[in-house]
A and B are shown apart, each in its own frame.
Chain A
Amino acid sequence: MEIIGIIIVAVFVNNIVFSQFLGICPFLGVSKKIDTAIGMSAAVTFVITLSTLVTYLIQKGILENFGLEYLQTITFILVIAALVQMVEIIIKKISPPLYQALGVYLPLITTNCIILGVAILVIQKDFNLVESIVYAISTAIGYSMALLIFSSIREQLALSKVPKAMQGVPIALLTAGILAMAFMGFSGIDQVFK
């Protein structure tokens, strides 16, 4: 039940975009095509999960053991930066065609903000390993959902007559605001799972 609670909270109640405000830049900038949004979602999910796992390991295994919590920020960011690149190298080395296919379909993005954010949140919330992973994935699902809705809304807005001054980022923010309002309707749902 706890686990389901974590999922519901991360996806709906405290959606990473609409209530936690993480990963906003790519959310506003990149999500213009639905197909791309789907591919990006998968990539983000994997990267968030993997880096949460590794930073969790570092936090519990090293930092807390040696009383070095104050190095959290610096180690996490270094590890994450290295990890993301390493995955790319490995894929490229192992199967260049696979790597190429990814390159053709996915835009290059770096969502450091959300990755580091989730890694730190997991530690702050005092989650255990399973909870951390579940939280990371659910957050990513929440993010993917936001990206997906948003890319489709943008495709539609591109075909309608939004006033000049509102075009682009302003209307995107406004839409996100209204969606955030709608998502507030879910508040309290997590209590069922306690």
Chain B
Amino acid sequence: MNAILIAVALLGIIGAASATILYLTGQKFKVIEDPLIEQIQEILPGANCGGCGFPGCRGFASAVVKSYTMDDLFCPVGGQETMDKIATILGKTAPATSKKIAVVRCDGTCEHRPQTSIYDGAPRCAIEAALYGGETDCFFGCLGLGDCVDACLFDAIHINPQTLLPEVDEDKCTACGACVKACPKDIIELRKQGPKSRRIFVSCVNKDKGPIARKACEVACIGCSKCLQVCAFDAITIENNLAYIDDDKCRLCRKCVPVCPTNSIWELNFPPRKEKASESSKEEIKKTV
């Protein structure tokens, strides 16, 4: 019995002592942390991609909790859905941000854009771009070496082996913008995904004058202003021989698409239009993904 008593005493003392210490530590070290942060971090996708501009999801979580409004704070990966959930937890309202998606604004496939030289350096767009305009006479278009592909954490963008152009997987793209930053030619843009994923945009970034652009690439935007004239909503601007469609103003009426002489305006995910044959070929390209 004696041994048991000593054992109890000893364990009691050590237990109590360590409990006190652990308790004190707990008190002192208690991170003055909102349990909300933890809660929000759970909701976040956990990709730690930095797309929100914070180092990691946790950084974003604490920023959301600390900020008074939720303006300027957006998790592109989780999207509006996540932001709404967060807003409910915090009892705030998330500003409505429509879901965006990466869009490759170049249609310079091998047929459209004849190769005029052979690039033989390290296979990086950034390296090729620093050397010269590229393997074709279009000095603005995609180089096809996939810096954007390497940058994507979500496996959402791939080079199509037939066209040698990158294509975005709509389901996977989180609009984190990594590819936009990676592209040395500023070809990729984050655009509104649009209802039912319908989008209209100019798939070209060539700022050369019409004839030069046209000579380099069949489907180059030549800055002819035809689309600008048919657009009823003032959504199209032309600058440096290049048309641009503002996705805030565009109402997806599709009027500009057929007027483009070079077919450089793309419409995505619309029901097919019968009369235009070339349109369906584009859809086909899209489907080969």
Contacts and interface: CB of A to CB of B under 8 A. Distances in A.
Nearest to A63: B10
Given A66-B3, A92-B28, A75 B21 contact: no
B28 A66 contact: no
B58 to A, nearest CB: 14
Interface string B10-31: 1100110110011011001100
Given A66-B3, A67-B3, A92-B28, A81 B22 contact: yes
A81 B18 contact: yes
A88 interface: yes
Indicate the size class of the contact surface on chain A.
10 to 19
Identify whether the interface residues of A are mostly helix, strand, loop, or mixed: helix
Contacts of A158: none
Interface in B107-165: none
B22 A82 contact: yes
A129 interface: no
Contacts, number: 43
Contacts of B14: 75, 78-79
Contacts of B28: 89, 92-93
Nearest to B20: A82
B21 A82 contact: yes
Nearest to A92: B28
A66 B6 contact: yes
Nearest to A66: B6
B15 A78 contact: yes
Contacts of A75: 10-11, 14
B21 A86 contact: yes
Contacts of B22: 81-82, 85
Given A75-B11, A75-B14, A82-B17, A68 B6 contact: yes
Contacts of B21: 82, 85-86, 89
Contacts of B63: none
A182 interface: no
Contacts of B230: none
B212 interface: no
Contacts of B3: 66-68
A94 interface: no
Interface in A59-75: 62, 66-68, 71, 74-75
B25 A88 contact: yes
B25 A66 contact: no
Nearest to B24: A89
A67 B7 CA distance: 9
Contacts of B29: 88-89, 92
B13 to A, nearest CB: 10
Contacts of B17: 82
Interface string B25-58: 1001100000000000000000000000000000
A71 to B, nearest CB: 6
A107 to B, nearest CB: 14
Given A66-B10, A88-B25, A89-B21, 12 more contacts: A68-B10, A74-B11, A75-B10, A75-B11, A75-B14, A79-B18, A81-B22, A82-B21, A85-B25, A86-B25, A89-B25, A89-B29
14 contacts: A66-B3, A74-B11, A75-B14, A78-B14, A78-B18, A79-B14, A82-B17, A82-B18, A82-B21, A85-B22, A85-B25, A88-B25, A89-B21, A93-B28
Interface of B: 3, 6-7, 10-11, 14-15, 17-18, 21-22, 24-25, 28-29
